[in-house]
Amino acid sequence: MTAYLIRRLWQMIPTLFGVVLLVFFLFKAFGNDPAEILAGLNASQQTVEAIRTQLGLNDPWYVQLGIYFKGIATFDWGRSWATNESVAHLFATRLPATLTVMLPILVLDTLLALPIAMWVAYRRGSLGDRAIMIASTLALSISFLVYIIVGQYVFGFQLGWFPVQGWSDSVLTNLVTYVPLPVMLALLVGVAPQTRLYRTFFLDELGHDYVRTARAKGMTEKTVLFRHVLRNAMVPILTNIGLALPGIFVGSFLIEVFFSIPGLGREVILAVNRSDYPVIQALTVYLAFITMLINLAVDVLYKLVDPRVVLK
Amino acid sequence: MPPSSGPAVGMSAVLPTPGTAPANAFPLRSEGVWQAAWKRLRKDRLGMVSMAIVALFVLMIVLTATGLVAKGWQREVGVPSAPPTFLGPAAATESAAALAPTGPVADISAVDPLAPRYAEWAERAAKYKTVETPKAETLPFGGDRVGRDVLSKAMKGTQTSVFVGLMGAIVATLIGTVLGALGGFFGGKVGDFLEWLYSVFTSIPDILLILSFAVIFGRGIGSVAMILALVGWTGLYRQVRAEFIKHSTRDYVRSAEAIGASTTSRMFRHILPNVSHVILVRMSLLVVGFIKYEVILSYLGLGVGVEDVSWGTMLAEAQSELILGNWWQLVAATVFMAVFVTAFSLMTDALRDALDPKLRGLE
């Protein structure tokens, strides 16, 4: 296991190297001149020149790349051009808000979709089964934007059940007051397709011989479903959750923009609008790294769920 | 399976020809992938209906692209926020007009320094003809904030959104197919390099990659399509690569090699037609995904330019209109998008079932 972990971590290095190269050259080759963005519209030539020297933009590209790598290795991501806030501080202060919204969505999505999927897979072809399939096709055909626009209008503005948007410093207030509406809207869109996906996993397992054997032994349906089918279906389900995990760091950006939640996703959009290169670059590299780590964690988790899986 | 033959080949074998065996003779060639798929597709009623709806949309897009329909979507033909015709004109606002001045009109021309030039200005103003275009009180499906016809906008927006999705998907398919073919067929150093490229692109979350590209490429229909293509090729690459690995050792490819077919010929004339159905299905999945991304990007102001209209820009305008109770733009954009996306997804499902029956029911 240790050897496996070390090898996987070792294999990450070229990929991570590639991500850094991609991000570096993308902005270097195609981006606008950072000095001119920083100096603003009414800057004199001297100011632009001074900023260029300060940022080291007059150095050859390999020196700049070296500095860039050094920054990444020492976790010194630099400072935001727009607010002069250090990027590390930006992560630390924005991440909690993102997690406050996204964790409930992920957990509730899974907890709601699992039993429904199991039920519809068990009663395959019934009315409920077909209703779920139609609902998921319809739910996916309308843009999430529409759900948010209408949801805010109906529940926030017309009915007044929830505040239209807002955020506070207390986690509890956030969870009770500000989080329910975005979470509800996300579930409205997410649960049906999730159910549809899990349903196929369950269907796959229900067709196996061991289910027939278990029934033949005289086990109750409950035991068959929960002790045999569920445990086997957990493998693809866990993969799916693992794949969704990196998304919770940034996937919420639409929700965060609409509901004025000061999270990482909104910060990305702000950075994009301000051409704030250090923030975008750092976030991209950082999230790529997290994604790789999570994928590794999911692979290890397989082993725990299913002892037959051999890690190689 | 051999590459598909035209229908004419199969037909001639069935037609009785003098001197040979009658109608029940063996066909010269078995039916091709596409012919068999078409037969299966014809039986899928839901698939055919959704295909017809997509065809209608394509017709509408062609009409708007050639300027026959919705050409004047930018003209302000109605009063601001004109309601749909079936609702009737908007009620007059309550705010009373400014009170007319009372009392006698005083002649101040003696002290007015501009008085001597009024006659000259009036004369010069008369030289210009101004045409007062009457603004419609209501429009078929309402007007937006400045009085543009929502229905025309929705049609023009359909053209933009679908074009971006389709264009992006085609470019992504080209990238993915060429890279996948190279990686799968050659393997070795080339394959390793492409696998590395793939792992780099997939390790960055899609939306972040899209936003990073958006910062660099700026706005516009072309750049959005390009951004989506550069981000979306990975899934297709992976599948094409797997197919090429599988096919490159098959007998028909080896036979082709034995008779001296070049590498390019084996890759693109022999293997490609046999995996084209996989590519087509993947591409239609990309179209739907890209259309949704375009809508989000345009909403955020990172998508199409200000002089264009798309479903995303319509939704962005609709948000502030909804608070005033003007729901029609939101509904128009949503309905157009929902109908197209649903029909297109169902068509893709039907295509997949028809082209690759092994995948049926496997999601």
Compute the distance between CA of residue B163 and CA of residue B170 in angstroms, rounded to an integer. Answer: 10
Q: A146 — contact with chain B (CB < 8 Å)?
A: yes
Which two tokens mark B94? 């309550």
pLDDT digits (tens, 9 = 90+) for B110-140: 788 888 888 888 888 888 877 777 777 777 7
Contact A145 B208 (CB under 8 A): no
- A194: closest chain B residue by CA: B363
- B340: closest chain A residue by CA: A141
Q: A60 — contact with chain B (CB < 8 Å)?
A: no
Mean pLDDT on A221-225: 85
Q: Specify the pLDDT at position B54.
A: 92
Contact B315 A23 (CB under 8 A): no
B195, HSE (Cβ side, Cα atoms, 13 Å): 14
Question: Minimal Cα–Cα distance from A19 to chain B, Å?
Answer: 5
pLDDT digits (tens, 9 = 90+) for B136-160: 777 777 888 887 888 888 888 898 8
Helix residue ranges per DSSP H, A56-143? 61-73, 87-122, 127-141
Question: Minimal Cα–Cα distance from B105 to chain A, Å?
Answer: 50
Map residue B71 onto helix, strand or coil: coil
Compute the distance between CA of residue A241 and CA of residue B9 in angstroms, rounded to an integer. Answer: 51
CA dihedral defined by B54, B57, B59, B62, rounded to 10 degrees? -120
A225, HSE (Cβ side, Cα atoms, 13 Å): 13
Q: Are B352 and B359 in contact (CB under 8 A)?
A: yes
Compute the distance between CA of residue A32 and CA of residue A41 in angstroms, rounded to an integer. Answer: 13
Q: Of A100-109, A296-305, B56-65, B209-218, which range is least confident?
A: A296-305
Question: Minimal Cα–Cα distance from A285 to chain B, Å?
Answer: 8
Question: Minimal Cα–Cα distance from B85 to chain A, Å?
Answer: 23
Compute the distance between CA of residue B16 and CA of residue B125 in angstroms, rounded to an integer. Answer: 85
Please determine, for residue B14, whether its predicted confidence score (pLDDT) is greater than 60: no
- Phi/psi at B225 (nearest 5 deg)? -60, -40
Compute the distance between CA of residue A145 and CA of residue A143 in angstroms, rounded to an integer. Answer: 5
Task: Tell me which of A232 and A40 has the higher pLDDT.
Answer: A232
Task: Tell me which of A88 and B27 has the higher pLDDT.
Answer: A88
Q: Are A54 and A39 in contact (CB under 8 A)?
A: no
The amino acid that residue B131 corresponds to is: V
pLDDT digits (tens, 9 = 90+) for A81-111: 777 788 888 888 888 888 888 888 888 988 9
Please determine, for residue B169, whether its predicted confidence score (pLDDT) is greater than 90: yes
Which DSSP string corresponds to A207-227?
Answer: TSHHHHHHHHTT--HHHIIII
- A292: closest chain B residue by CA: B203
Nearest residue to A180 (alpha-carbon basis) of A168, A162, A167, A166: A162
Nearest residue to A104 (alpha-carbon basis) of A190, A193, A230, A45: A190
Q: What angle do CA A66, A68, A69 make, to 5 degrees?
A: 65
Compute the distance between CA of residue B157 and CA of residue B308 in angstroms, rounded to an integer. Answer: 8
Please determine, for residue B178, whether its predicted confidence score (pLDDT) is greater than 90: yes
Q: Are A153 and B322 in contact (CB under 8 A)?
A: yes
Instruction: Please identify which residue in the block is written with the tokens 């919420």.
Output: A252
pLDDT digits (tens, 9 = 90+) for A120-168: 888 877 777 777 777 777 777 888 888 888 888 888 888 888 887 878 8
Map residue A86 onto helix, strand or coil: strand
Residue B195 CB neighbours (<10 A): 16
Map residue B136 onto helix, strand or coil: strand
Composition of chain A by helix, strand, coil, percent to 5: 75, 0, 20
Q: Specify the pLDDT at position B175.
A: 94
Q: A228 — contact with chain B (CB < 8 Å)?
A: no
pLDDT band at A176; cut points 50, 70, 90: confident
Cβ contacts of A270 on chain B, cutoff 8 Å: none
CA dihedral defined by B62, B63, B68, B73, rounded to 10 degrees? -100
Instruction: Please identify which residue in the block is written with the tokens 């094409």.
Output: B240
B111, HSE (Cβ side, Cα atoms, 13 Å): 3
- B316: closest chain A residue by CA: A145
Map residue B149 onto helix, strand or coil: strand
Mean pLDDT on B91-107: 67
Map residue A173 onto helix, strand or coil: helix
Mean pLDDT on B244-255: 88
Cα radius of gyration rounded to whole Å, chain B: 30
First-to-last C-alpha distance (Å) of chain A: 9
Q: A30 — contact with chain B (CB < 8 Å)?
A: yes
Q: Specify the pLDDT at position B151.
A: 85
Nearest residue to B197 (alpha-carbon basis) of B218, B182, B213: B182
Q: Are B72 and B143 in contact (CB under 8 A)?
A: no
Compute the distance between CA of residue B160 and CA of residue B312 in angstroms, rounded to an integer. Answer: 10
Please determine, for residue B291, whether its predicted confidence score (pLDDT) is greater than 60: yes
Q: A300 — contact with chain B (CB < 8 Å)?
A: no
Cβ contacts of A197 on chain B, cutoff 8 Å: 363
Map residue B78 onto helix, strand or coil: strand
Task: Tell me which of B310 and A248 has the higher pLDDT.
Answer: B310
Q: Specify the pLDDT at position B27.
A: 56
Compute the distance between CA of residue B184 and CA of residue B272 in angstroms, rounded to an integer. Answer: 12
Residues of B with CB under 8 A from a CB of A: 196-197, 199-201, 203-205, 207-209, 211-217, 292, 295-296, 299-302, 311-312, 315, 318-319, 322-323, 330, 334, 337-338, 341-342, 345-346, 361-363
Instruction: Please identify which residue in the block is written with the tokens 């290169």.
Output: A277
Cβ contacts of A18 on chain B, cutoff 8 Å: 196-197, 199-200
Beta bridge partners of B78: B136
Compute the distance between CA of residue B93 and CA of residue B104 in angstroms, rounded to an integer. Answer: 30
Mutate to test the interface with B, among A141, A144, A195 (most CBs of B within 10 A): A141
Mean pLDDT on A40-67: 78
pLDDT band at B358; cut points 50, 70, 90: low
Contact B301 A273 (CB under 8 A): yes
Q: Which of A19, A144, A257 sits opposite B204 (nearest CB)?
A: A19
Longest dimension (CA), chain B: 114
* C-alpha of A95 from chain center: 12
- B329: closest chain A residue by CA: A146
pTM: 0.80
Helix residue ranges per DSSP H, B218-271? 221-248, 251-258, 263-264
pLDDT band at B12; cut points 50, 70, 90: very low
Compute the distance between CA of residue A140 and CA of residue B245 in angstroms, rounded to an integer. Answer: 34
Helix residue ranges per DSSP H, B187-220? 188-203, 206-217
Residue A149 CB neighbours (<10 A): 22
Compute the distance between CA of residue A77 and CA of residue B279 in angstroms, rounded to an integer. Answer: 41
E-strand stretches of B83-236: none
- Phi/psi at A188 (nearest 5 deg)? -55, -40
Compute the distance between CA of residue B206 and CA of residue A251 in angstroms, rounded to an integer. Answer: 9
